[in-house]
Chain A
Amino acid sequence: MMTDDDMLVGFLDEAREHLSTIEPDLLTLESNPKDQETINRLFRSVHSIKGGAGFFGLETLSKMAHVMENLMSKARAGGLTLGQTHIDALLSGLDKLNQMVAEPKTSNDIDISNERDHLESLAEGKEAAAAPAPTPSAAPATPAAPVPPPVAAPAVVEEAERTMKTSEFDLPQKEIEWVAQHDMNLYAVSVYLNRDIMSKGKTPYQFISDLEELGRFVDSYLDTDDAESLEGDVDEEDLRFTFVFASIMAPAVAAEGLAVREDQLQHLKLAEIKDGKVRVTLPAKVPKKAAPAAAPAPVAAPPAVIPEPEPEPEAESDALPLSPPSGMGSSKVLDTKKVKTDESIRVGVAKLNKLVDLAGELVLVRNQLLQAGEKESKKSSSLMSILQGLNMVTTELQEEILNTRMQAVQTVFGKFPRLVRELGRSLGKDINLVTEGGEVELDKTVLEALSDPLTHMIRNTADHGIEMPDERKQAGKIPQGKLLLKAYHESGQVIIEVSDDGRGIDGDAVAASAVKKGVLTQADALTMTDREKQNLIFHPGFSMAKQVSNVSGRGVGMDVVRSNIEQIGGSVDLRSKAGQGTSLKLTLPLTMAIVSCLIVESEGQRFAIPQVNLEELVMLKPEDYEEMLGYVQDREVLRLRGDLLPLVSLAEGLGIKESQPKAYRTFLRQLNSQQAADERKRSETKRRGEERSDPRPYYNLTDKTTEGKRQEAVRVLIISVGINKVGVVVNSIVGSEEIVVKPMPEYLQHLTFFSGATILGDGTVAMIIDTLGFVQHNQLSLTEQRMQGRSLEQAKKSVEEAQSLLIFDNGTEERFAITIPLIQRVDEIELSQIQRVSGKDYLEYRGEQMRLLHLSDYLDVGKPEKRSEKTSIIIPKETHMPVGIVINRVIDTKTMYIDVSEGAIHGPGILGSTLIDGKITLLLDLYALLELGEPDALHRVHFNESKVKASKILVIEDTPLFQTIVREYLSSVGFEVDVEENGKLGVEAIERKHYDLVLCDIEMPVMDGFDVIRTLRANEKFRDLKVIALTSLDDDKLIKEGLAAGFNEWMIKLDKEKMLATVNQYLN
């Protein structure tokens, strides 16, 4: 019975409860060492751990608790005042206790000697140090006064013969020896079943198991005589239960520990027990009047352990019948607490989770029933009320079950006072932690996941946020820094704020550090708002510390904090004012199992989007298009109250083909081509040094189409991811629903833009959008972070190059495009003219044999079923021999910004794909195609190998697509290639490192190609550096101007052969 596992588990649970109160109590004592109530509670907590530990054979745990108890008992007796050293020692002892309770199996192997020695020496040393120390000598005197001397006891017994009853115990010698060995006190106790046990809400079994936590049960005796003998008495039905009990408790606390009155307890002196025979005389019935005089005092109290200094007055009043056994506040608290715990039962978390799951299922079934029942209910009115009843009960049931998992935030907050105390000391700062709203409840899972991020945030705040006392004084603040930890409810969510009155975050310093670390380019930093800069601390790999201290330099960054919070469906918001403080606001869902979502529909499929990520819903009417839609940096944007938000349709973002182009897309496309043309015109006028004639804002469209009138409204969800916002277009809003989150099946876990699945009310499965994953997948976050918050003026400046494209088809459904600068001519031919020679097609063309290439022979594209008699060929520029590419017909030519997403269609001979007029258009790599089809047609550029190896080339180019292509072309030959994304960075790179050749784009943000060449040529050092303009601008005037400005050569992009040849020429 003694080593029952269940009982051990029960003890450990209780020990943990005690441990959790010890820490705050110790900290309270530190500020108020005389707080008797706290000392008492502390003593009791440690004491009960000690008792239980000994009981379960956890010797080390028991010893540790014992020395702590010793020190506390000294303090309790007034023998010493607990100072900081004492609290420190007790805290370190507490750590050991925690450690041992966490691992009870190995707890006996844990070394506690340091803590123990320290505590022991404190307990003794203080006594010696406190020179006048009246306590030890005074103490024995104290009990002598109020309690009758031990010798008086027999007399009392005789006098009170009628109300006293004598029982005889026959104790086994073994037990007596054991008690002696363990230095325990032996007590005889008499309790009444109703009065002392049942009335306190306990069962006899519980009473005994409580006892077993306090000591050892030696022998018992149930006195059934009483029931008969005491007729007429109020307690006539009460059974008297007498037992002998061994405990480490000192006599004065034993009664309190057992929750009985002192007169119900008799201390047995081991020496007086002969042959195991013990005669015990205890009250046989409940005295009706206070009988302090009749109370048999402990036979002999060891003078060294005198716990209560002044028991007299209280003992008198408290000894009234049926009143609580002791006057100590703490014991009252303990009693109510005990009753409370008895009203609750421990349920395994797994069982609880199963209940939560089942409740979730029930909600789903209810929803289905409601939908099905709605139709039927018209026929039968009683059905409707049943359904409503079911509806209500289910909702309530679900709420209640979810509530069982709720825990007060205090369980997490509780560990911070100590953390802050220690942080403050190790950092030499004075920090006052204030916690508010500890009673706010959160789901257990959320709470558990919250602990680490919060700890990290508090560390960070203490380390970086709050200044040193001197610094604070200089800033006119009080030396003590304030750290506020506050929890509260706000619109169905729980907010936890960690704020301080420290120095705040210096956005510029953060940005500078980010640039240094390569997280951010200087150019980007310039365009960022202060808030954006501050938010860089959430960037992976970023640490704010000027010097890594051991407090926050632990390799965990705020990025981890943020991703942890986002994982549990929350979000983090940072606000900081330099010099005034920082506030981190966590928005958390009440529970993770059930999430409030907006159900939206796109292309016939429904998706759930967590409400926590939703900022607002915007309805775009056709008349708003002009004002609110735009094109910046190849991207569709939404203009919302001065901010430019990336705009993406949900379906497109998820790779679902849109059945028909939406009206707003048509608008945007028109805008796009319009803008491209404008941009071209504008850059040309700029080159000519003329005033820009067109003052229209960039998003304006001159000719409004009649089509615009028919266009329907567009629903845009504004989604927040960190500080970034994104506009997501959906077809319709279905409604909001509380959904039960099912984790993503393992098979589909790689789809990071879904966080899980759920079953909707009608029983169908819907995917839950992971907004962070969605934004990352669509690469909306990085560039947009820069874009957002920029003024329109800046947005206008960010220039992209327009590409002139020839758009054609090949008699299949696919559409293709080739950049026009690479094309020499497009001609129409007749199919019958084609001659087939040894498996290859030829055509007599302008007196020469022209080789004809079919796209489907070399590329992964469809083959036309049958060609019409008249068909077209494209003749590329600058081939060694005549080559023609057979196509069906030219559809259009367009100058536009192309958005060739790198993740889209890719393959040999295909640079990428883009949407042109709502159709996916494949952008062909002409040179790759020729290489595949007729390699002889290409001019082979022969490079001197040693030259290649020795040469370094810098490419200054802003468009990622061209960066990739040019780099690929050059490195395929063997050059060492560096890429910079704008002129400013390019010039910096040139100043830093030697390059043999620079290929420079013309149209670039921040600093364009003309400025680059002027800057370089103005510098003596770079006067002779070979710089080639690499652009898609082929205006003659511009070329002239470029060469005049100092470019060695003007090259057209994507012309691989020419580029390589030119490079070769310049390097030799």
Chain B
Amino acid sequence: MAQVATFHIGDELFGVDILLTKEIGKLQEITEVPMAPDFFLGLMNLRGQVVTVMDPGVFLDQKCQVAPEERRLIILKNKGELDDLFRNDLIEETSMSRDTLAIVIDRIGDVVEVADEDIRPTPPNLSVVKKEFVSGIIQQQSKLIILLDMGALAKRCIPKEEAVN
């Protein structure tokens, strides 16, 4: 049994293991970072901590449909916070960075209880979404929840060795 936090971006319903999330926040004042890749919205002050805010929609072919001030953030746990969970066998190893990442979403959905067997592999016809960031599909009544692989998403955001300039 796992709890999955669901959220909307564009037309799709996505889900993330609730253990990977730290908190839900409002999209506050964000400082844009010049020359950062376009999926980064910028940096935000979360109670004295500098948090990198990114838009997962860029990788998922979804565009936020809500006005910026209505948008929400899911602040994800960083490596340090996840290590504790990993040590206690609550989660599998993920490749989150030591720096906190937040993803911007349209709105938050329900938290659903999901049995492991309910998580089905990514169907091959799931073309709208880049498959490398999807770890499975959950069918909930009429809804289809796309379960995201946050580790893969975070990894994608870390620049490769060669510098941009």
Q: Which residues of A contact B (CB under 8 A)?
A: 361, 364-365, 605, 654-656, 742, 745-754, 757, 759, 763-767, 777, 903
Contact = CB atoms under 8 A, between A and B. Distances in A.
Contacts of B36: 748, 751
B159 to A, nearest CB: 4
A751 B97 contact: no
Interface stretch (B11-19, B40-48, B58-66, B139-147): B40-48
Interface of B: 29-36, 40, 42-45, 48, 50, 52, 54, 97-101, 157-159, 163-165
9 contacts: A655-B34, A746-B158, A747-B54, A747-B101, A751-B33, A757-B31, A763-B45, A764-B29, A765-B42
- Among B34, B48, B163, the one with the most A-chain Cβ atoms within 10 Å of its Cβ is B34
Contacts of B33: 748, 751, 754, 767
A753 B36 CA distance: 11
B165 A777 contact: yes
Contacts of B31: 605, 757, 764-767
Contacts, number: 75
Given A746-B97, A751-B164, A656 B44 contact: no
Contacts of A364: 48
A598 B102 CA distance: 29
Contacts of A777: 165
A747 B163 contact: no
Nearest to B33: A748
A757 B50 CA distance: 8
A569 to B, nearest CB: 18
A809 B99 CA distance: 45
A754 B42 CA distance: 13
Given A361-B48, A748-B40, A654 B35 contact: yes
Contact of B52 (A747, A752, A767, A903): A747
A751 B50 contact: no
Contact of B43 (A361, A654, A763, A765): A765
A747 B40 contact: yes
Contacts of B100: 745
- Among A655, A747, A752, A765, the one with the most B-chain Cβ atoms within 10 Å of its Cβ is A747
Contact of B50 (A655, A749, A759): A759
Contact of B165 (A746, A748, A752, A765): A752
Contact of A747 (B29, B44, B45, B157): B157
Contact of B45 (A605, A754, A759): A759
Contacts of B29: 763-764
A655 B35 contact: yes
A851 B100 CA distance: 57
A771 to B, nearest CB: 15
Contacts of A757: 31, 43, 50
A747 B165 contact: no
B34 A747 contact: no
A903 B35 CA distance: 12
- Among B29, B31, B36, B164, the one with the most A-chain Cβ atoms within 10 Å of its Cβ is B31
A752 B35 CA distance: 11
Contacts of A747: 40, 52, 54, 97, 99, 101, 157-159
Given A752-B165, A765-B50, A767-B34, 10 more contacts: A605-B32, A605-B34, A745-B43, A746-B98, A747-B158, A759-B45, A763-B29, A765-B43, A767-B31, A903-B165
A765 B40 contact: no
Contacts of A656: 34
A126 B29 CA distance: 78
A764 B42 CA distance: 11
B26 to A, nearest CB: 14
- Among A361, A751, A766, the one with the most B-chain Cβ atoms within 10 Å of its Cβ is A751
Contacts of B32: 605
Contacts of B99: 745-747
Contacts of A759: 45, 48, 50
A777 B98 CA distance: 27
Contacts of B163: 750, 752
A656 B36 CA distance: 11
A753 B158 CA distance: 17
B52 A748 contact: yes
Contacts of A746: 97-99, 158
A658 to B, nearest CB: 12
Nearest to A742: B50
In the A-B complex, list the 10 residue pairs whose CB atoms are closest, starting with the nearest. Answer: A654-B34, A745-B99, A750-B159, A765-B31, A765-B43, A361-B48, A745-B52, A746-B97, A655-B35, A742-B50
A752 B159 CA distance: 12
Contacts of B45: 759, 763-765
A847 B74 CA distance: 67
B128 to A, nearest CB: 25
A754 B54 CA distance: 19
Nearest to A362: B48
A605 B52 CA distance: 17
A545 B5 CA distance: 65
Contacts of B48: 361, 364-365, 759
A697 to B, nearest CB: 35
A69 B65 CA distance: 80
A282 to B, nearest CB: 58
Contacts of B30: 765
A655 B54 CA distance: 20
B36 to A, nearest CB: 6
A982 to B, nearest CB: 27
A746 B156 CA distance: 12
